[in-house]
Amino acid sequence: AGLGKLLKLSDLEIAALRVGSYLHDVGKLAVPDHILNKPGALTPAEFEKTKVHTVVGAEILTRVNFPYPVLPIVRHHHERWDGCGYPDGLSGEEIPVTARIMAIVDCFDSVREERPFRPGLPRDQAIEMLRKEARSHFDPELVSLFIANLDGLEAQINALGLMDEKHISTTGGPIVPASRNLELVVTNRSLAAYDQIRNAHREGYALYEMARTFGSSLEVKNTLSVLVDKVSHIVPFDTCIVYLYDDTKGFASAALAVGLNAETMQAQCIAPGEGATGFALANRRAISELHPSLDFKDTQFAPVDEYHSMASLPLFKGDLLLGALSIYSLAAGKYSDDQIRLLEAVTRLASDALANAVNHARAESNALTDPLSGLPNARGLQVRFDEEVSRSQRTNCAFQVIMLDLDEFKLVNDTFGHQIGDRMLREVAALVQAQMREYDFLARYAGDEFVAILPNLTAEQVTELCERIEKVVSTFSLQIRADTYARVGISVGAAVFGEDGESLDQLLIAADEAMYRAKSTHKIGFLGPVNVETAYPKADAEQASEIGANTLITGSIN
């Protein structure tokens, strides 16, 4: 109002400025709270949604019948001097002078406020910002007038006790309680505006409920199921795929697919940069303009031409890329900006929940994993044993537990140090695992001891496996230097569930006893470090290399 007086505006225009300063953002009732309160920059779709507040605000106030021109202020305070503003793209003096004043004052006040995603600007920086935006955003003459009289205007505000020293308002003006505003809406029968406000509040409540639902589980599978279910209530689709990204492999695999062709889609894999979903993964932004066939051009999936529209949104939190949500539709056209905005809101919530679920899964895995070998640890062994017992009782199929202990492993540590010993453990673990079936279970139990659980094998098959493991380990040589190798042996003992015991401890004791009986036949004695070429004729080098699993050799073994 003070700036209006300096311009010698009419009393009605000055009164309109006073009221407009309170009501210019009333239309933000139609903008969902999660957008207004977002602690970060808005996406393009979210920014488009905020633009409705100027039109909705004017519609709300249309039938109030103010005796002064408030509506032009409310509708046009986001127009720009260069014509790039909204909602009507007015430029220069086409913009009502009261709206031009409100634009300057509102912006100056807003940039000085603290926001969750940025600090407020100091007074001098806010003034400099106005100068830079003059002739593009703001009326240059009004900017000059405002800055020249700013001290006096602020003195008037202080005298009235209206200065907000903390600059904590987040809306650019006082907020009237929602119940009073909604009464105003109903009283004035601005039905279009009311519908937008109602939808905004419904959207906010729906997202709140989604956040609660997402937060109720730390299981990745459950989180993905909730995500797909929620998306199905927001936008139509014929097929929905949630991809999870594996940074060790460099691509995302379909973790959950529902709808048309779901079974085929389960095998879908996409790398960042490949197809539409790959674009979303690589650029970490939503994409809806590309044709869905791009996602399937390099696959065996045949009916690529049946989908006509799609949208893909990345799932990520901070720097952690989690995957992507992709929806495909048989309908022609494209998903609207409002649908993409809603999907972005949902995927943000899902990304937070999914990141927590992934971290939880990793923590659980770490708690059950031996960090040296990468195998399950003793705790993981107990978990798997309990699962195998349940399976055995359900299917009436037996399983065996074998204990594996390295022979003369201490000599490796004593001779070459624990770092080489650790390398030997990792190599032996890999050798043993390579002799087993994919669904057999191997754990590092303690020190140089390993335990395996073998379902559905006969005694003869287990004996054959044990012999195979002993042979492959005893013939392995770990090269330490050009002419230096370390070798160990391994002893194996087996126990049968139900015959030798029914608890893990009972079976381990039985397998341990069998293992020590086998170990007693392996004792050859420590023969190294020796130089093979010195100790044996070259013709006997091969024989020397097979002297025993418990031999350390320095020198060539060829």
Residue 35 host element (H or E): helix 33-36
In this predicted structure, the answer to whether residue 228 has a pLDDT above a threshold of 90 is: no
In this predicted structure, the answer to whether residue 365 has a pLDDT above a threshold of 70 is: no
Whether omega for the bond prior to residue 87 falls within 30 degrees of 0, making it cis, is yes
378-554: CATH superfamily: Reverse transcriptase/Diguanylate cyclase domain (3.30.70.270)
Question: The domain at 2-194 falls in which architecture?
Answer: Orthogonal Bundle (1.10)
Spatial separation of the C-alpha atoms in residues 268 and 328, rounded to whole Å? 14
In this predicted structure, the answer to whether residue 178 has a pLDDT above a threshold of 70 is: no
What pLDDT is recorded for position 3?
85
What pLDDT is recorded for position 218?
62
- 8 A C-beta contact, residue 520 and residue 545: no
Could you read off the pLDDT of 440-449 as tens digits, one per residue? 999 999 999 9
What pLDDT is recorded for position 532?
35
Residue with tokens 């971290």: 359
- Tell me the pLDDT band of 117, cut-offs 50, 70 and 90: low
In this predicted structure, the answer to whether residue 378 has a pLDDT above a threshold of 60 is: yes
Q: Which of 48-57, 199-208, 321-330 shows the highest mean pLDDT?
A: 321-330
Q: Which residues contact 94 (CB under 8 A, 6 or more apart)?
A: none
What mean pLDDT is predicted for residues 502-522? 90
- Going from N- to C-terminal start, the domains of the chain cover 2-194, 220-367, 378-554
Pick 214 or 61 by higher pLDDT.
61
What pLDDT is recorded for position 134?
93
What pLDDT is recorded for position 92?
95
Q: Domain 220-367 adopts which CATH fold?
A: Beta-Lactamase (3.30.450)
What mean pLDDT is predicted for residues 218-227? 79
What mean pLDDT is predicted for residues 102-126? 84
Q: Which of 200-204, 433-437, 515-519 has the lowest mean pLDDT?
A: 200-204
In this predicted structure, the answer to whether residue 209 has a pLDDT above a threshold of 80 is: no
In this predicted structure, the answer to whether residue 180 has a pLDDT above a threshold of 50 is: no
- Tell me the pLDDT band of 215, cut-offs 50, 70 and 90: low
Structure tokens at 75: 């509708």
* Residue 83 exposed, middle or buried by CB count within 10 Å (0-12, 13-18, 19+): middle
What pLDDT is recorded for position 232?
85
In this predicted structure, the answer to whether residue 184 has a pLDDT above a threshold of 60 is: no
In this predicted structure, the answer to whether residue 432 has a pLDDT above a threshold of 60 is: yes
Average pLDDT, the chain: 81
For residue 372, CA distances in Å to 380, 381, 418 come to 14, 16, 12
What pLDDT is recorded for position 172?
36
Within 238-380, strands assigned E span 239-246, 251-259, 269-270, 309-317, 320-329
Instruction: Residue 26: count other Cβ atoms within 10 Å of its Cβ.
Output: 24
What mean pLDDT is predicted for residues 485-490? 92
